[in-house]
Amino acid sequence: MKKAKIYKPSKTAMQSGLKKFDKWIIEFITDKPGINPLMGWESSTDTYSEINLEFKSKDLAVEYAKKNKIDFEIIEPKNRKILKKSYADNFIK
């Protein structure tokens, strides 16, 4: 079967909240993307590359991959460091 990666998407630089980032995604890895001779865009004949499956938790995504005999790689999200500062800290130093 195909190889896939399971990951939690990160927010873009334009977003500050964390509302829509509680899902996990299975994304299939394409073997060899090629160049479209007409337009010069990167393309592939592999239709699995167009599929992204969303799950509520990592466990559900892993269970789905094992059930359907998909080789997978889990990419753990990096934890965010939150520095608590107060407004007064701007004037103390």
What would the pLDDT profile of 61-84 be if each residue is shown by its tens digit?
999 999 999 999 999 988 878 888
Look-up of token digits 């938790």: 57
Residue 33's CB is within 10 A of a number of other CB atoms, namely 13
For the CA atoms of 57, 63, 68, 74, the dihedral, rounded to the nearest 10 degrees, stands at 70
Nearest by Cα to 7 from 44, 52, 49, 47: 52
Which has the higher per-residue pLDDT, 18 or 40?
A: 40
Does the pLDDT at position 89 exceed 70? yes
* pLDDT score for 18: 65
Instruction: Give the residue-averaged pLDDT of 3-13.
Output: 87
Q: Tell me the one-letter amino acid at 81.
A: K
Based on the structure, what is the number of domains in the chain?
A: 1
Torsion (CA) 11, 17, 20, 22 in degrees, nearest 10:
80
pLDDT of residue 77: 87
Q: List the CATH number of the domain containing 87.
A: 3.30.160.190
Res 12: pLDDT = 75
Residue 56 banded pLDDT, cuts 50, 70, 90: very high
Q: Containing domain of residue 70, as a range? A: 3-12+19-92
Indicate if the pLDDT at residue 59 is higher than 80.
yes
